[in-house]
Amino acid sequence: MAKEQFRLASRMAKLGTETAFEVLGEVKALEAEGKHIVSFCIGEPDFDTPANIRKKAVEAIDSGDTHYTGPQGKIPLRDSISRHMKKTRGLDYSRDDIVVTPGGKLVIFSTIMALAGEGDEVIYPNPGYPIYESAIDFAGAKGIPLPYLEERRFVFELETLKGLITDRTRLIVINSPQNPTGGYVPREDLEELARICVEKDIMVLSDEIYSRLLYEGEFTSIATFPGMKERTIILDGFSKTYAMCGWRLGWAACPPGFAYWVTRMNTNTVSCAPSFVQTAGIEALDGPQDDIDSMVAEFKTRRDLIVGLLNDIEGVSCHSPKGAFYVFPNVTKAVKDLGFADAKELQEYLLYQGNVAVLHRENFGRKNTGEDQEYLRLSYATSQDNIRKGLAMIKAALEDKEKIASFLKAKGAKE
Ligand code: PLP
């Protein structure tokens, strides 16, 4: 449908998207044609939601727990979240400072809309989750990309960050463990960043959605450093940890007084998260955690498997990430040696000729100035069998020089 058809408001030109969903559309179209695609695209656990949580939701529906709740979320759920924040981060939040949202994603939008507008600058991770950039643009603020560097195991450089801060910087978005790289910001860097934020009076949106998916060491939140709880909004949720992506449930843990504004955004948009889903959320946090522990253990095994198989492919090198369920292999050598223009073309070849779906780096933001390497993102939230099969297919596709040549020739002829 033509964009001009509706005489859209000019602000819509600033609304970005998550292009990963477009690739998902291509995968579905190929599958509809009868092709079998092994997909590493989607950032969603392949496990079912644990049975105790499902049961609670069904009971809640049957008992009439189907009405609006207050826009801030049910008090018993906010109390559970407070206890969870204490247990997982050692942080004390009163129920007044917690806002329940339908998915953590809304916390990104609400926080950025509340804090940044015309003339303000927001520093955000690049490569990074694409919704940060979209929300910053939509809010009318200026996005300042902060490179997450392979040579630092996909963490930013403090010196670079310091150089990006100006007197217009309102907010710094951090995400650790990170999507798409799996990078984890070490405690020392968080401590220094905290010191800078306090000194310069800058707020932080700390996206901690993958905090339970950390395979080495203890998770540290930036809000635990002196002066930071007062200036940090923590985003967390149930999608990744409890395999509850489709339930849409997340939360913001806010500095005193800020919950009012996140709540007000709820009131203006979604009213509240679904009532019975909130009830199931209490069970998720307070119920047995054995299923979660085994999911995390399985993700770790898959990480080791996929990293090993990637490093076995000529022209590909891959760090072992500390958290989340993504790997971000460097494919520069493969791209160059095999004659692809870039990782985007490699993604296309792998999908259409290799039947494997992966995402190229620019699905996670434009390249940083001076960035000359090529990357793919693979989600390993899929079975070990799929990982073995898919990686064998990638390896075979990259070794098939004839197939590559005819793909590139056909593409050249089309252009
Ligand atoms: N933040 C990051 C970094 C993510 O990768 C995602 C989902 O992929 C979200 C936030 C949002 O998760 P949800 O809205 O499902 O809670």
CB distance 207 to ligand 1 below 6 Å:
yes
Domain boundary at 286, 306, 322, which?
Answer: 286
What is the per-residue pLDDT for 2? Answer: 57
Q: Is there a single domain that holds both residue 16 and residue 72? A: no
Distance between Cα 43 and ligand 1 center (Å): 8
Could you list the residue range(s) of the whole structural domain that residue 78 is in? 67-286
Domain presence at residue 62: no
- Number of helices (H) and strands (E), helices first, in the chain? 14, 12
The answer on 236 and 94 residing in a single domain is yes
* Together in a domain, 247 and 359: no
| 236 pocket-lining for ligand 1 (C-beta < 6 Å) | no
Kindly give the parts of the chain with pLDDT less than 70: 1-4
Same domain, 307 and 227: no
Q: What is the pLDDT of residue 27?
A: 93
Query: Does the residue 386 lie in any domain?
Result: yes
Rounded Cα distance, 167 and 155, in Å: 24
- How many other CB atoms are there within 10 angstroms of residue 238's CB atom? 24
Same domain? For 279 and 386 the reply is no
Within a domain: 258: yes
Rg of the chain, C-alpha, whole Å = 22
pLDDT of 316 reads: 98
Q: 240 alpha carbon to ligand 1 midpoint, in Å?
A: 8
The confidence score (pLDDT) of residue 3 equals 58
Count of structural domains within the chain: 2
- CATH code (residue 392): 3.90.1150.10
Name the domain boundary from 286, 301, 320.
286
Burial class for 237, CB neighbours closer than 10 Å (0-12, 13-18, 19+): buried
Position 21 scores a pLDDT of: 83
CATH code of residue 255: 3.40.640.10
Same domain, 211 and 88: yes
If one counts every other C-beta atom within 10 angstroms of the C-beta of residue 13, the result is 10
Instruction: Dump pLDDT digits (tens) for 241-291.
Output: 999 999 999 999 999 999 999 999 999 999 999 999 999 999 999 999 999
Regarding the beta carbon of 175 and ligand 1, being less than 6 Å apart is answered yes
pLDDT of residue 411: 85
| Mean model confidence pLDDT for the chain | 95
Domain match, 101 and 166 both: yes
Span 32-73, pLDDT tens digits: 999 999 999 988 889 999 999 999 999 999 999 999 999 999
261 and 380 part of one domain: no
pLDDT tens-digit series, residues 321-350: 999 999 999 999 999 999 999 999 999 999
- The answer to whether residue 55 sits within a structural domain is no
Give the C-alpha distances (Å, rounded to integers) separating 368 from 6, 128, 251, 331, 362: 34, 11, 31, 17, 10
What lies within 8 Å, CB to CB, of 389 at 6+ separation is 38
Choosing from 18, 99, 105, 242 the residue with most ligand 1 atoms within 8 A of its CB, the one to mutate for a pocket test is: 105
User: Which of residues 286, 313, 339 is at a domain's end?
Assistant: 286
For residues 129 and 205, state if they share a domain.
yes
Cα(181) to centroid of ligand 1, in Å?
14
